[in-house]
């Protein structure tokens, strides 16, 4: 089986160097009766202006690597679409340019697809926070303006680095300081835990498209093409919207255990999907259903938002599935009228 890892990147050259090292170090030995695994890597450089070109040129010496470059930034969705279009693999794995791949990530995605048809693979998404002030996590070079903060790390700085040598020889040490969730904080961790629990407890639930991660997700390339790829008009939650359409096609999300990606955090933090809402209206216009409306209620409950009354709280995906499946009388519009962060999705 040929697997293509599609990596999108923009102005994260030092992190991308480490990600490509982790792909060059993949153990592609088959698991059980699954067939031999071959690897292809496609990197889409979305108009980087840093040292990304040099990093890619170096990586092409040791990786089966194809490079696509956008001269003008087109965004995550367009970059991923172009990457998958250029892929040759039967299975594609989506990865970001700042997320390390554990040594068996590709092999385990491949084995899952070899065993199970009509599936989307969801890997284990972790993060390391020690890198957040480093422009280059390998050398400890700080971001502009963070020199003093890095200097105060003193002897701890050495232990915070992520190096190519570590990736090649002792990846388990990097994994040992990684934490669950794509970002740091109690809410991202809890969301990750609830998603993985639901994938195990209610695997046939129709709402599990919500568990789609932004990276470390795999699918058959034919399925991606059948649903038309990512909506390039979405700048947030484009991965969940893609997964919604894959569910409509009859595909189901499956956890791929032991298949870990590790996000090397950076100082800019993360984008709160409830601060930028244009994506939500576009998502709902394409898929006007109760489950899409209830995403924000679920996230606000998770964040322990005090404006969500106890009777309207949705504390798990299992509960959300029950509400949707049973047609429970959840009055979203009544809740929205009293909650400042919920949107009237039915208005134009």
At 308, is the pLDDT very low, low, confident or very high (cuts 50, 70, 90)?
confident
**Which spans in the chain are helix H?**
13-24, 52-59, 76-85, 105-115, 147-151, 156-160, 164-169, 171-176, 186-201, 221-226, 238-248, 278-286, 290-302, 317-326, 332-338
pLDDT tens-digit readout, 116-164: 999 999 999 999 999 999 999 999 999 999 999 999 999 999 999 999 9
Residue 285 is encoded by which pair of tokens?
Answer: 């216009």
- Asked if the model's pLDDT at residue 103 lies above 90, the reply is yes
Q: What is the pLDDT of residue 214?
A: 92
Q: Which residues of 223-234 are buried (b: 16+ CB within 10 A; e: fewer)?
A: bbeebebbbeeb
- Fold classification of 2-143+160-264 is Spore Coat Polysaccharide Biosynthesis Protein SpsA; Chain A (3.90.550)
Q: Indicate the SS3 state at residue 63.
A: coil
Mean pLDDT (whole number) for 228-233: 97
At 275, is the pLDDT very low, low, confident or very high (cuts 50, 70, 90)?
low
Find the distance separating the first CA and the last CA of the chain, reported in whole Å.
46
Q: What is the CA radius of gyration of the chain?
A: 20
Q: Inter-axis angle of helices 290-302 and 317-326, to 10 degrees?
A: 150
Measure Cα distances from 269 to 42, 133, 184, 322 in Å.
26, 11, 9, 33
At 348, is the pLDDT very low, low, confident or very high (cuts 50, 70, 90)?
low
Q: What is the percent of the chain with per-residue pLDDT over 70, rounded to a whole number?
A: 96
Q: Where are the domains of the chain?
A: 2-143+160-264, 278-338
The Cα 262–Cα 202 span in angstroms is 26
Residue 17: name the closest of 110, 172, 131 by CA. Answer: 131
- Asked if the model's pLDDT at residue 25 lies above 70, the reply is yes
Reduced to 3 DSSP states, what percent helix, strand and coil does the chain have, rounded to the nearest 5? 40, 20, 40
Q: What is the pLDDT of residue 253?
A: 98
């Amino acid at each position: 089986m040929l697997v293509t890892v599609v990596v999108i990147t923009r102005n994260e050259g030092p992190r991308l160097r480490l990600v490509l090292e982790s792909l060059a170090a993949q153990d592609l030995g088959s698991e059980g009766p699954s067939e031999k695994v071959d690897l292809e890597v496609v990197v889409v450089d979305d108009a980087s202006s840093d040292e990304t070109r040099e990093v890619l040129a170096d990586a092409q010496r040791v990786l089966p690597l194809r490079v696509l470059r956008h001269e003008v930034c087109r965004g995550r969705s367009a970059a991923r679409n172009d990457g998958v279009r250029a892929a040759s693999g039967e299975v594609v794995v989506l990865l970001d340019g700042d997320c390390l791949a554990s040594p068996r990530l590709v092999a385990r995605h491949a084995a899952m697809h070899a065993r199970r048809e009509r599936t989307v693979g969801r890997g284990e998404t972790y993060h390391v926070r020690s890198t957040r002030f480093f422009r280059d996590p390998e050398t400890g070079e700080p971001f502009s303006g963070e020199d003093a903060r890095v200097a105060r790390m003193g002897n701890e700085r050495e232990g915070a680095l992520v190096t190519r040598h570590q990736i090649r020889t002792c990846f388990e040490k990097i994994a040992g300081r990684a934490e669950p969730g794509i970002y740091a904080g109690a809410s991202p961790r809890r969301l990750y835990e609830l998603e993985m629990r639901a994938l195990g407890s209610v695997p046939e639930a129709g709402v599990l498209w919500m568990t789609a991660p932004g990276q470390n997700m795999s699918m058959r390339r034919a399925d991606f093409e059948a649903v038309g790829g990512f909506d390039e008009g979405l700048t947030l939650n484009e991965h969940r919207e893609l997964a919604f359409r894959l569910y409509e096609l009859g595909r189901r999300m499956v956890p791929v255990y032991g298949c870990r990606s590790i996000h090397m955090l950076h100082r800019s933090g993360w984008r709160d999907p409830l601060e930028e809402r244009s994506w939500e209206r576009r998502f709902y216009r394409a898929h006007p259903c109760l489950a899409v409306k209830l995403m924000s209620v679920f996230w606000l409950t998770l964040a322990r938002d005090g404006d969500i009354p106890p009777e309207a709280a949705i504390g798990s995906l299992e509960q959300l599935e029950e509400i949707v499946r049973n047609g429970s009388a959840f009055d979203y519009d009544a809740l929205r009228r009293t909650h400042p962060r919920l949107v009237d999705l039915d208005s134009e």
